[in-house]
Chains A and B, each alone.
Chain A
Amino acid sequence: MIQKKICLLGSFAVGKTSLVKRFIHGKFSDKYLTTIGVKIDKKIVHTADFTAKLLIWDLAGEDEFQKVRLEYLRGASGYLLVADGTRRETLNKALILKEGAKAVIGKKPFVLLLNKADLDGKWEIEPNLVNDFVQKNWIVMTTSAKTGHGVEEAFQILTREMLERENN
């Protein structure tokens, strides 16, 4: 079976670990336990056209104490760039990290996730900003690790992007 390494990249507490947990175990918790270093999980993704084994590297987010260790990206075929929709600055950080990722693994498929979509009232990201990204041909999705909204799709879309890119 084809295997792919992917990474989750983003500021601290944007919900990377929660997204992985939702995707793999279908669970969610309000507790925040910051990831230290990296945590690796795997899941097999099936769709009508393909099956692939994903090895998901959940990297520790960047905060004032530690920088994201981009060397963990090495060998990744794609990544999920995660921002917290209720914290505008996490989006800026995500854009910086995207550049960092490019320096390590070159141009690779990615999906930008604006997480915590369930927290409607606190949303800080204006729709026209998202439009700009779409203009650039980026794939942008809103997700919620809490409700599960968009999570499965996010992983599937990334997988499809990676496999298509490889076949072309």
Chain B
Amino acid sequence: MKNHPAQTCEHPPLEVPDVFPLEDRDEALDELRQLLLEPEQEALRKLQERLDNPKKRAYDISRVLPEALVLCSSQNAALAKELTPQMDKLINASIGKNSKIFIKTLSRMIGPATRSALSEKIQGMNQALADSFSLRGLKWRWEAFTTGKTFAEVVMLHSLIYRVEQAFLIHKETGLLLQNVVAKDVVSHDADLVSGMLTAIQDFVKDSFKTSGEEGLETLQVGELSVWIEEGPQMLLAVVIRGQAAIELRTVLRDALESIYLEQAEVLETFQGDNSTFEEIKPYLEICLEARYKSESGKRAPYFWTLFTMFGIAISVWIFFTWRDHQQWTRYLDKLRKQPGIVITSAEKHRGTYVINGLRDALAPDPRKLIEKADFSHLKLIMNWKPYYAMNPAFILDRSKQVLQPPESIDLTYENGALKAKGSAPHQWIAETRILARAIPGVFKFWSDQVIDADLKQLNQVKKQLEIRRFYFKLKTTEFSAVKSNALPALLTDVHNVLNIAEILNQKVHIQIKGHTDSSGTERKNSDLSLKRAQQLRSFLIRKGVSPAKLTVIGVGSSEPQRQELADEDKQFNRRVTFRVIAKPPLRE
């Protein structure tokens, strides 16, 4: 902007221009114009810009369009008349291009409303439909004319989202029909044969594709009819559906099957081809036929215009949600792909259901837990994970820990196919681990040379403890000299410990109880006495429950003194019983 108010103020007064030369006058006039028109010019320029810039224009219109539409439609029907054919064309094109999406959207957003409107006010609806969708109206009239159905019925058939026309309850093994029901006005074929054939197809599919477990065919599509098959214990429930059924129907089918099974379990157990008892369960099948009426709630009787507006809203809402879902879906897949221990083999969207197939290590986190808070809660997500073993080191180590359950004193590490253990562990753990470790996927070697056998260490300790025990005796008797009150129980504990730990270590040991005397007395008497002293302790141990086979006695008289008998006091140290742990079985009891 060249001119600004500060400059214009300094110009001479307006009456003066006459005396100026011509050029000066022109200049002055220009200035005058500027002065006078400045604000208008600015406004005009802004307007021009608004008109030229499509973005701004769109923004402007968007602000007034809602009111304009409301005004138009409330004051006269001209707009509707003008718009209807155009919208018809658009909608038709959209349906042609992507009818599934359209049907689904409809079923979600206005399904219930349409259906209740149809049932309550079918006549008024006829008029509206016939007028507005003129081509369609004619087509339906033609269909009504050629099939002999009433026009209302034809509209019903086309407008309803779906209708369960027949239900077959089939004995799985024999393919025999247990019961069937047919909706009003539906021409049914021989139900016995249909049920046989469905079983045959099911057998064929199962055998041909060797599906894991029991799952067979779940849906068959025949033109505008589809057959949904639900397998229950010993029975199949197959329903013939016209149109696109909502996934909730599965639940209805499952419930029906369960209820029937509860009532007929006994009959089914011994089923020999007599289906007369299945007359009673007909009501359950009839529920399946009526399933589509269940989800209704809308009581309003909308007329065409309302529906029409809802179409528009529905589509935009739908586009938004689809876009958002798609974003979340790809984000989620990304996350899963990055997750170690999870391999996605296929991920696809199928009729509003998201299906992920893949492999998952049992140690990988639950894929459902990776879904961010609200993200997927409203989506149908089916995941099929086949177990597999992930081979990255962290997983192998975790897996090893899970399988081997090492004690806290053991430190496991994994590197290049080798699992290493360090620390101390019970003998049994070490023995088992040596065998188990190499069966763990990813572990090819197991190093245990740095593991200390805790049990072996303990055995040596208790052995030593037992072997330094002494029992002393009075001269020429088997009577203890000075014995502490807890000496015998302590002996028993030592003996038990030695035997128990040896057993854990799988070592065969026995305990030798050796009697001694001092040098007084004859050699023969001494040998006799020493044996008696040893036997006395053996009987004590046996009385306390120690196995006799583990205890041997020997009397060595005075031949193994522990102290040289220089004085009389020395003798009392030689009248004793000692113990030895011997690592082989006794020759004879």
Q: C-beta contact mask, A39-79 vs B, less than 8 Å → 1, else 0?
A: 01110000000001101010000000000010110111100
B200 near A41: Cβ-Cβ < 8 Å: no
B171 near A75: Cβ-Cβ < 8 Å: yes
Given contacts A4-B273, A5-B174, A75-B174, are A42 and B193 in contact (CB under 8 A)? yes
Please indicate the chain A residues that have their CB under 8 angstroms from the CB of B173 in the complex: 74-75
B275 near A3: Cβ-Cβ < 8 Å: yes
A5 near B176: Cβ-Cβ < 8 Å: yes
5 additional A-B pairs beyond A3-B176, A53-B192, A72-B203, beta carbons within 8 Å, are: A1-B274, A3-B177, A3-B275, A37-B200, A40-B193
Please indicate the chain A residues that have their CB under 8 angstroms from the CB of B206 in the complex: 71
B200 near A55: Cβ-Cβ < 8 Å: no
A37 near B196: Cβ-Cβ < 8 Å: no
Chain A nearest CB, measured from B215 CB (Å): 16
B207 near A71: Cβ-Cβ < 8 Å: yes
B175 near A2: Cβ-Cβ < 8 Å: no
A95 sits at the interface (CB 8 A): no
Closest B residue, CB atoms, query A74: B173
Q: C-beta contact mask, A1-22 vs B, less than 8 Å → 1, else 0?
A: 1111100000000000000000
B192 near A71: Cβ-Cβ < 8 Å: no
Chain B nearest CB, measured from A113 CB (Å): 22
Chain B nearest CB, measured from A78 CB (Å): 11
A30 sits at the interface (CB 8 A): no
Closest A residue, CB atoms, query B273: A3
B157 sits at the interface (CB 8 A): no
A132 sits at the interface (CB 8 A): no
Closest A residue, CB atoms, query B196: A40
Chain B nearest CB, measured from A103 CB (Å): 14
B174 near A76: Cβ-Cβ < 8 Å: yes
A130 sits at the interface (CB 8 A): no
Number of interface residues of A (CB under 8 A): 22
B204 sits at the interface (CB 8 A): yes
A55 near B274: Cβ-Cβ < 8 Å: no
Closest B residue, CB atoms, query A105: B173
Partner pick for A75 among B175, B193, B275, CB 8 A cutoff: B175
Closest A residue, CB atoms, query B203: A71
Among A40, A72, A76: residue with most chain B CB under 10 A: A40
A38 sits at the interface (CB 8 A): yes
State A71–B171 Cα separation when bound (angstroms): 15
Q: C-beta contact mask, A97-117 vs B, less than 8 Å → 1, else 0?
A: 000000000000000000000
Q: Mark B residues whose CB is within 8 Å of A.
A: 171-177, 190, 192-193, 196-197, 199-200, 203-204, 206-207, 272-276
A166 sits at the interface (CB 8 A): yes
Closest B residue, CB atoms, query A59: B200
Please indicate the chain A residues that have their CB under 8 angstroms from the CB of B174 in the complex: 3, 5, 55, 74-77
Please indicate the chain B residues that have their CB under 8 angstroms from the CB of A166 in the complex: 272
State A42–B197 Cα separation when bound (angstroms): 12
Partner pick for A41 among B176, B177, B193, B276, CB 8 A cutoff: B193
State A4–B204 Cα separation when bound (angstroms): 20
B200 near A42: Cβ-Cβ < 8 Å: no
**8 pairs of A and B residues whose beta carbons are closest in the complex:** A75-B174, A75-B173, A40-B196, A3-B273, A5-B174, A3-B176, A71-B207, A2-B273
A-B contact pairs, 21 of them (CB 8 A): A3-B177, A3-B192, A5-B174, A5-B176, A5-B273, A40-B175, A40-B193, A40-B196, A41-B193, A52-B273, A55-B176, A55-B196, A57-B175, A57-B200, A69-B203, A69-B207, A71-B203, A74-B174, A75-B173, A75-B199, A166-B272
State A57–B198 Cα separation when bound (angstroms): 12
Given contacts A3-B176, A75-B174, are A42 and B190 in contact (CB under 8 A)? yes
State A70–B210 Cα separation when bound (angstroms): 15
State A75–B268 Cα separation when bound (angstroms): 13
Chain B nearest CB, measured from A163 CB (Å): 9
Chain B nearest CB, measured from A45 CB (Å): 12
Partner pick for B175 among A1, A37, A55, A69, CB 8 A cutoff: A55
Chain B nearest CB, measured from A1 CB (Å): 8
Among B190, B197, B199, B204: residue with most chain A CB under 10 A: B199
Please indicate the chain A residues that have their CB under 8 angstroms from the CB of B193 in the complex: 40-42, 55
State A97–B173 Cα separation when bound (angstroms): 20
Please indicate the chain B residues that have their CB under 8 angstroms from the CB of A1 in the complex: 274-276
State A42–B191 Cα separation when bound (angstroms): 11
State A38–B177 Cα separation when bound (angstroms): 17
